[in-house]
Amino acid sequence: MPVAIAIVGRPNVGKSTLFNRLVGRKLAIVDDRPGVTRDRREGDARLGNLRFTVIDTAGLEVADDASLLGRMRAQTEAAIASADLILFLIDARAGVTPADEHFAEVVRRSGVPVVLVANKAESRTGEAGAYEGYALGLGTPVSISAEHNEGMADLAEAIAEQVPEASLPEDEDVAETDAVVSGEEGEEEAIPEDVGLARPLRLAVIGRPNAGKSTLVNALLGEERLLTGPEAGITRDTISVDWTWRDKRIKVFDTAGMRKKARIDDKLEKLSVSDGMRAVRFAEVVVLLVDAAAPLEKQELQIADLVEREGRALVLGLNKWDLVEDRNRRLAEVREMFERLLPQMRGAPIVPISGLAGQGVDKLMEAAFNAHRIWNRRVPTSKLNRWLEGALERHPPPAVSGRRIKIRYATQVKTRPPHFAVFGTQLDALPDSFTRYLVNGLRETFDMPGVPIRLSLRSPKNPFHRKS
């Protein structure tokens, strides 16, 4: 198990900025206002020759246990309990505050080794504030600026003293000393084309606010890993969690709720939605979670269309199923509505579940793995062309200007999602209705429900055509 290091402190001291610096990417949402981070978030960190798991946490605040702030504090306390080392952050520009003193005592009582870090210490004011950190009794403050990448070598030295097992052997090849953020917000990372057997399934859970996404993920994990509650919009960051289901490795992404674009005027919510859309792009299978009482509203159809455009396999989860009375009728209504409004994802599995009661979660995962197998399906060229020959006999392509469009053969050029190329002449004049006929035939003949199917039409270049 890698060393786990939790970043702890009161709100707005720069915990998420330091987290992003250590993991080398802008994973956590950062904003000037306090209380942006709510759930605890883990990432693989590198700092000099150190390798460890870093945990970003919500700001510690005094609040009632049942309140949202109290539940956020409980998440941070869980991170402290699981950590091998705590980085206790203070704002060097503000100096030591009464809140810092209170939570320094909480950290001290935990018994976990602590490194006191004075962040935002790039100015003279910051230097003076860092010296105030001695009063907390947590040892010598390490002055850094996470935003400007200053003092990271000193931080690496302090971490190595407390947890030497985080250091790599000297003969192992390592990168440059300090971790550097690799890109700006929204930058995409490449997804390999090949599917390794040891690679975990990437599963994203998306939907509108208050659809029960975090509750469902907690039911899948079998623990209260994510912050939940009656308030809409609790989740802000996209949180990824590694777990195992029936000896199969999975990386599940819990995302923020996606509202209509016209209703979003807050910068923080825009960042949360953008983070959720990135999770869709990085996922392989997407679970669209809808409220069984009011399924497939316009916003959810737009989300499903986004999943199709990104080429991801889709599973529709009907949440809060335990509250539905006439279940057979409701399921039939949802199936009819889905097939009619989303024909491009025809046949996607629809799984009734209850995240709160933990019902139907195994069926949901079975549907997700089945969708993943279909998403990776490859059809032999011989079978594909036998099907094409029969399809053309039943419905020949139309004629254009007195000449019939000729389709000669087809082949599958890609998986993830299945992508087919059809070769012939005058294919640029092929009507959309005939293209849909071919796509529907591929879906039904080769059993590919619920995944996007790409179809490219390729005609040979006319050597006698005059080049402009």
Instruction: Enumerate the known binding-site residues for GTP.
Output: 9-16, 56-60, 119-122, 207-214, 254-258, 319-322
List Cβ neighbours of 325 (8 Å cut-off, separation of 6 or more): none
- The full 3-state SS of 289-349, as one line of letters, equals EEECCCCCCHHHHHHHHHHHHCCCEEEEEEECHHHCCCHHHHHHHHHHHHHHHCHHHCCCC
Tell me: cis bond preceding 463? Omega within 30 of 0 counts. Answer: no
Return d(Cα 218, Cα 354) in angstroms, integer. Answer: 12
Helix pair angle (381-394, 432-445), 10° resolution: 130
Return d(Cα 278, Cα 290) in angstroms, integer. Answer: 20
102: enclosing H helix or E strand: helix 98-110
- Residue 84 sits at φ, ψ, to 5 deg, of -90, -20
List Cβ neighbours of 216 (8 Å cut-off, separation of 6 or more): 205, 287, 289, 317, 319, 353, 355, 361
Q: Are 275 and 265 in contact (CB under 8 A)?
A: no
* Tokens matching residue 267: 């910068």
Return d(Cα 354, Cα 334) in angstroms, integer. Answer: 16
- Binding-site sequence positions: 9-16, 56-60, 119-122, 207-214, 254-258, 319-322
DSSP string computed for 110-173: HT--EEEEEES-SSHHHHHHHHGGGGGTSSS-EE-BTTTTBSHHHHHHHHHHH-GGGBPPTTS-
Length of the chain in terms of residues written: 468
CA 84 to chain centre: 26
387: enclosing H helix or E strand: helix 381-394
- Side chain identity at 169, as an amino acid letter? P
Q: Are 89 and 61 in contact (CB under 8 A)?
A: no
- Side chain identity at 60, as an amino acid letter? L
First-to-last CA distance in the chain? 63
